[in-house]
Structure 1
Amino acid sequence: MKIKATIILLLLTGLTFAQKAKKGKPVAIAPKEIFVAELIAKMTLEEKLGQLNLPTSGDIVTGQANSSNIAKKIEEGKVGGLFNIKSVQKIKEVQKVAVEKSRLKIPLLFGMDVIHGYETTFPIPLGLSCTWDMNLIKRSAQIAAQEASADGINWTFSPMVDISRDPRWGRVSEGSGEDPYLGSQIAKAMVTGYQGDDLNKSNTILSCVKHFALYGAPEGGRDYNTVDMSKIRMYNDYLPPYKAAVDAGTASVMASFNEIDGVPATGNKWLLTDLLRKQWGFKGFVVTDYTGINEMTDHGMGDLQTVSALALNAGVEMDMVGEGFLTTLKKSLEEGKVSISQIDNAVRLILNAKYDLGLFHDPYKYCDANRAKTEIFTSSNRSEARKIAAQSLVLLKNENQILPLKKTGTIAVIGPLAEAKENMAGTWSVATKQENSVSLLAGIKSEVGASAQILYAKGSNLDYDAAFEERATMFGKTLHRDNRTNEELFSEALKIANQSDVIIAALGESAEMSGESSSRSNLEIPQMQKDLLKELLKTGKPVVLVLFNGRPLVITDESQTVPAILNVWFAGSEAGYAIADVLFGNENPSGKLTATFPRSVGQIPIYYNQKNTGRPLANKEGKFEKFRSNYLDVANEPLFPFGFGLSYTSFDYSNLSISSSQIKANEKLTVSVDVTNTGNFDGKEVVQLYIRDLVGSVTRPVKELKGFQKINLKKGDKQTVIFEISIEDLKFYNADLKHVAEVGEFEVFVGTNSDTTNKIKFNLVD
């Protein structure tokens, strides 16, 4: 073959793709299959294993790429990629080592946890999901890819699509909530946002869906803990977002830490080969989580050689940090525990990804210093982040229409989260420059200007316990603990509170109270802040609670005593501006919860699409009934249900109708409802459609989200919202794990949240 001969000639004569690129001459290379096959044929076993090795950048800093400890491994072809290194200058230095000093000149992948933005940071993923706007979510991923790629990054460990129904688990902040349908739509939006329609473009990057699988359901809500569930629950409730990401073309998948059916995901062949590749048709590569292979030893699966072979045989292609592949697979190959074809296949998938990114054509394609100067943290990106953040905020209570606030009089801003710009970006914001984030106080001052007087007091520390605060403010996200006595802090706060017309209380979690390894057993606001809030309420002044959080909190007391509550999550680098936009009415809040807020930790796990028992609670008031499935001490109902969120205006639903009372498998139904803005503000509403399958071969949930539309209505306007229902919306996995729709009666609910009782019926017939 002429093309084949050309590639061999290039490699043998030393006129490599890397050397040509160095001279500024883009390289015409063979089609991927031929090119990769020829390259693998030239590789030694050690070089092959090197492509499967993903260490962290460690000690590499500018000017030290050639002398760092990892440089020697790169020269020897023992590294396939690096992560946790940023900036064009550093990355170009390291890439030069790979493509100019290693024998085969194979470029490296450069990965980073670009979770919810790069330097322009968007709300934490849980907050982002509360926009219910797939265009905005996709746009956030596009901007993140644009900025990361401009700074040398070509691979992100995102999106995290783990379904979670237990807010004790800290990483609920990093996902999209409790619902598989909504989670699937968001997974698709994020993957397509990162990867675009062509990975050869310089502003797109590889996505990595994680954590495969079931990571969001650990026992006790404790991170990395055991997960154990039935296959039918997996397929119906937890697997759909992963599959949606695969169907959207995600380039890579990250294995999770937890076990599945008694075998850790990192070594689970059923999961990584039978399900992911054979059933779903995944064509990309699988990477472990940080030291995921090594940690199987503590799971009780054997020594490093044993678990490394287990991972390769299961379907893992790249080993993050642990170097089990690099150091043990040669011996396992000699002992017949793994095969050379398995190793070659893993290498092929890694090289395919590099080819798809265009790195063989130009290994420095992501090292454009001009892009780094002009495309990161731009005013336009920040403007979009501000608008997106405003739509993520959820108004939980607004008694007597306290909000929006007027820009007059004296406004007291009190609380440990008021002047805390280091916390605004939230957890997993590794590329954010915290000094550029905007605090709530700064945002309010900017918005109000000279129109009102702003008074500020910290009021309290995060909590009485200094050691707890230290654990909860890691990674440079300090709250600058105040060493004054509690009495002095309270006294200062009450002094300015009494001088004010309205009090904004900035309370809740610090950024690192949620996130990885931040599980909590108590989900209430820390006690010192609760005590401060009680004192502020005693003043008799109107209080607006601006609640910072990375998870659903138990705010039962606050919901009863505080007249207005705005849940702001951690809204990103533009948080202060976005929150002020909502507080003062520039933006009407439109966020809707994607995770249920419990009344008590004892209710957990709590989620809207539960199943009935044989003895469901019959009354609708939450009253206790003996010999029914309920608690002695608290109502079954959540404090705030899935899909809940208020607006400064009001919406009326009427004229729910359906095109037919029955449907066949090859037909579709339309459901329509009139939505009228009956309040005094223009506003956005998320119209939600739920379906209930009344009789099934297996028990079915009381409701399942199957559609939603976010509409914008001017005050007084009405819109007819139309949904289409097909057989696909009625399918579920039965006891044989077949995806089926069964004939029978269904109910359709359309309303403002999952508690809606506005329903109509139809039948699926043969």
Structure 2
Amino acid sequence: MKHTTITGPAYEDATRTVAERVEDLLGRMTLEEKAGQMFHAVSLGGADVDHKTQRLVTDGLLSHFNVHQLPDARTAARWHNKIQELAAGTRLGIPITLSTDPRHAFAENQGASFAAGFFSAWPEPLGMAALRDPETVRRFADTARQEYLAVGLRAALHPTVDLATEPRWARQYSGFGQDPELTGKLAAAYLDGFQGHLVGSRSVACMTKHFPGGGPQKDGEDPHFPYGREQVYTGGRFEDHLLPFRDALAAGTSAIMPYYGMPVGLSRNGEAIEEVGFGFNRQIITGLLRNELGYDGVVCTDWGLLHDLNVFGMDLPARAWGVEHISVEDRVVKVIEAGCDQFGGESCPELVVELVKTGRISPKRIDESVRRLLRVKFELGLFENRHVDEDAAAALVGNPQFREEGLKAQSRSVVVLNTSDDVLPITSSTRVYLEGMSPAAIQSSVTIAKTPLEADLAIVRLDAPYEPRNDLFLEASFHAGSLEFDDTVTSRLQELSSHVPVVLVINLDRPAILTPLEPYCSAILATFGVSDEALTRVLTGTEVPEGRLPFELPRSTEAVLQTDSDVPGGTPDPLYAYGHGLRSLREPAV
């Protein structure tokens, strides 16, 4: 009797090369299935896969989702397994790639990052920059990688390597400060921790952003919003902002995300750069990134370039800066012609299908992008291991060792700006009056005073100032505008200091002008995502603060206005210079 060996399609054969599997799968795909790969949609997450996400998987044939709500590790793992089951039931069974914005620190902004919650909590990237230690960054990234893997998150929409050159810009907390070389070194360590030397089955694929550098925003406004669309290089420092991306490319970043910003008055190599958002900009994506820098990985746009939104009754225009006047279809064509592979935050593959059928986009060009996108899925081993273990996720994520390492990094990242009068460290006999800090975190280490008059010391925790805005969707989460504190804050510190020495602890998600506050403070500490528990360790001398400022602190608003937005540092006579940080709680500033 003759025996027939039955084999499955080549793309399901793990013994074949990634390139062979990609070509086999690509050759089996319909135009509709290819178009679905080119959209990276948002899914709400939660306990169950919502109806909209289900339709995008089964009808839209999407397989890349940026997930938001993850209540706990077990629920997150279960949700992941449910969406993978949906994908397994499609014609080709292409697995889902789940992505996320940063989740391991303290900033909560659904347009950019999520607070750690059940994950281990570490300092913001600015705090990592304050430590200037690539090994700490690598250890953080490896820990985050393990936690992501446990719940099925296989793509990180980070690191952010934008330079903090415009003091008023709202997104500085997610980057590594103002120095191009340090940012590049820390980005390489970050990528090594998440991806390894090569993207593989134990990697989380990273999307480095926001190419070619999102820091130099005109007047510090953010291009999520129409009034912040212009990106300026009046100091001629475009190459400084590009430098960290060169390091990220050398480290093998899996993907690149261009920013919303629209360059104004920019020229390179004698050629004027078109004044359109970078995601629409062929000179930047194809000319610079692909041709000049030799990058052949995935390019995914930032979220929402095509359609206007109305969420919870609030508007948010499409970030189609410079091409606001053209149709959605024309925007799709321009993004693809620019050299991008995927549309972030959008879910309209039918437009790509129609544009191919009408001859406006070639099938060959679609294949180029889908080939890159599929390659990452095979590199990650998603076809072989599409499910995760819910019990293992619950045991690993946020485990005591990871939490302790995160707490220690938080404490180490604190920057001592100034100290005098031997007010620190505090002891168990110190009577402490608190404002902005939870008594629960410190009460076992000191005596809590109910009023300043009963205290030996006042500890005041403040966030950096900003101008609240809430006219557009997401606007309230972006801390923009003035860097100056309200007069009531200065008056309160003055009043407290008339009764008791004041230790000011300021959380800097961007620089703040501390000049009016400084005379009333016996010590000033800067933090970049530090819990009360981690701060207590510093205040009591249990942990040594090692941080140095990742950006300078301007002396005044006038100084900020005198500085080019693209120049790292350089404000006249800063109150505290880049790199400032005392080595001891008892070391007075000179």
Aligned match of 1:487: none
Deviation of residue 10 (structure 1)? 1.2
TM-score relative to the length of structure 1: 0.66
Cα contact 1:166–1:217 (8 A) shared by 2: yes
Cα contact 2:165–2:565 (8 A) shared by 1: no
Aligned match of 1:399: 420
Other structure's SS at 1:56 match: strand
Other structure's SS at 2:361 match: coil
| d(CA) in 1 for partners of 2:512, 2:466 | 14
Aligned match of 1:84: 67
| d(CA) in 1 for partners of 2:548, 2:283 | 37
Aligned match of 1:475: none
Deviation of residue 333 (structure 1)? 2.0
| d(CA) in 2 for partners of 1:500, 1:511 | 30
Deviation of residue 609 (structure 1)? 11
Aligned match of 1:62: 47
Q: Superposition pairs for residues 288-327 of structure 1, below 5 Å?
A: 288-294=301-307, 295=318, 297=320, 299-301=322-324, 302-324=326-348, 326-327=349-350
Cα contact 1:508–1:526 (8 A) shared by 2: no
1:505 matched to 2:460: yes
1:378 matched to 2:382: no
CA deviation string 1:321-371 (max 9, x = no partner): 2235x132223223432211110010011100000100122222xx12132
Q: Which of 233, 236, 251 pairs up with 2:237? A: 233
Query: What letter corresponds to residue 387 of structure 1 in structure 2?
Result: K
| d(CA) in 1 for partners of 2:467, 2:247 | 29
| d(CA) in 2 for partners of 1:607, 1:585 | 40
Aligned match of 2:259: 256
1:544 matched to 2:503: yes
| d(CA) in 1 for partners of 2:440, 2:346 | 44
Aligned match of 1:105: 93
| d(CA) in 1 for partners of 2:532, 2:374 | 43
Deviation of residue 109 (structure 1)? 0.5
Deviation of residue 409 (structure 1)? 3.5
| d(CA) in 1 for partners of 2:462, 2:52 | 45
Aligned match of 2:148: 148
Aligned match of 2:23: 37
Other structure's SS at 1:556 match: coil
Cα contact 2:235–2:564 (8 A) shared by 1: no
Deviation of residue 567 (structure 1)? 1.0
CA deviation string 1:394-448 (max 9, x = no partner): 00111133222233142211x2x213xxxxxxxxxxxxxxxxxxxxx332224x1
Cα contact 1:394–1:589 (8 A) shared by 2: yes
Query: What letter corresponds to residue 428 of structure 2 in structure 1?
Result: K
Query: What letter corresponds to residue 578 of structure 2 in structure 1?
Result: F
| d(CA) in 1 for partners of 2:380, 2:234 | 38
| d(CA) in 2 for partners of 1:501, 1:328 | 67
Other structure's SS at 1:141 match: helix
1:276 matched to 2:265: no
Aligned match of 2:581: 645
CA deviation string 1:198-242 (max 9, x = no partner): 53343x31111111123211111111020132795211x110111
Cα contact 2:464–2:511 (8 A) shared by 1: no
Cα contact 2:172–2:509 (8 A) shared by 1: yes
Aligned match of 1:329: 352
Cα contact 1:549–1:569 (8 A) shared by 2: yes
Seen in structure 2, the aligned counterparts of structure 1 residues 608 and 590 have a Cα distance that, compared at 3 Å, is farther
| d(CA) in 2 for partners of 1:527, 1:50 | 53
Deviation of residue 155 (structure 1)? 0.7
CA deviation string 1:732-762 (max 9, x = no partner): xxxxxxxxxxxxxxxxxxxx9xx9xxxxxxx
Counting matched residue pairs gives 537
1:445 matched to 2:433: no
Q: Which of 228, 247, 250 pairs up with 1:247? A: 250
Query: What letter corresponds to residue 192 of structure 1 in structure 2?
Result: D
1:361 matched to 2:384: yes
| d(CA) in 2 for partners of 1:409, 1:362 | 55
Deviation of residue 527 (structure 1)? 3.8
Seen in structure 2, the aligned counterparts of structure 1 residues 645 and 409 have a Cα distance that, compared at 3 Å, is closer
Deviation of residue 181 (structure 1)? 0.9
Moved more, 274-283 or 353-362: 274-283
Rg comparison, structure with higher value: 1
Query: What letter corresponds to residue 247 of structure 2 in structure 1?
Result: A
| d(CA) in 1 for partners of 2:564, 2:549 | 11
| d(CA) in 2 for partners of 1:510, 1:134 | 30
| d(CA) in 2 for partners of 1:273, 1:336 | 21
1:209 matched to 2:208: yes
Seen in structure 2, the aligned counterparts of structure 1 residues 562 and 231 have a Cα distance that, compared at 3 Å, is closer
Q: Which of 525, 534, 537 pairs up with 2:494? A: 534
Q: Which of 424, 437, 442 pairs up with 1:418? A: 437
Q: Superposition pairs for residues 333-732 of structure 1, below 5 Å?
A: 333-364=356-387, 367-413=388-434, 415=435, 417-419=436-438, 441-446=439-444, 448=445, 452-456=446-450, 496-509=451-464, 518-539=478-499, 541-571=500-530, 575-604=531-560, 606=563, 636-648=572-584
Other structure's SS at 2:506 match: strand
Which one has more relative contact order, counting CA pairs under 8 Å at least 6 apart? 2
Cα contact 1:411–1:501 (8 A) shared by 2: yes
Seen in structure 2, the aligned counterparts of structure 1 residues 636 and 255 have a Cα distance that, compared at 3 Å, is closer
Moved more, 39-48 or 394-403: 394-403
| d(CA) in 1 for partners of 2:584, 2:568 | 34
Aligned match of 2:85: 96
Cα contact 1:395–1:565 (8 A) shared by 2: yes
Query: What percentage of aligned pairs have identical amino acids?
Result: 27
Cα contact 1:47–1:76 (8 A) shared by 2: no
Query: What letter corresponds to residue 339 of structure 1 in structure 2?
Result: S
Deviation of residue 521 (structure 1)? 2.6
Aligned match of 2:135: 135
Deviation of residue 607 (structure 1)? 8.9
Cα contact 2:431–2:454 (8 A) shared by 1: yes
Seen in structure 2, the aligned counterparts of structure 1 residues 586 and 320 have a Cα distance that, compared at 3 Å, is same
Root-mean-square deviation over aligned CA pairs = 3.0
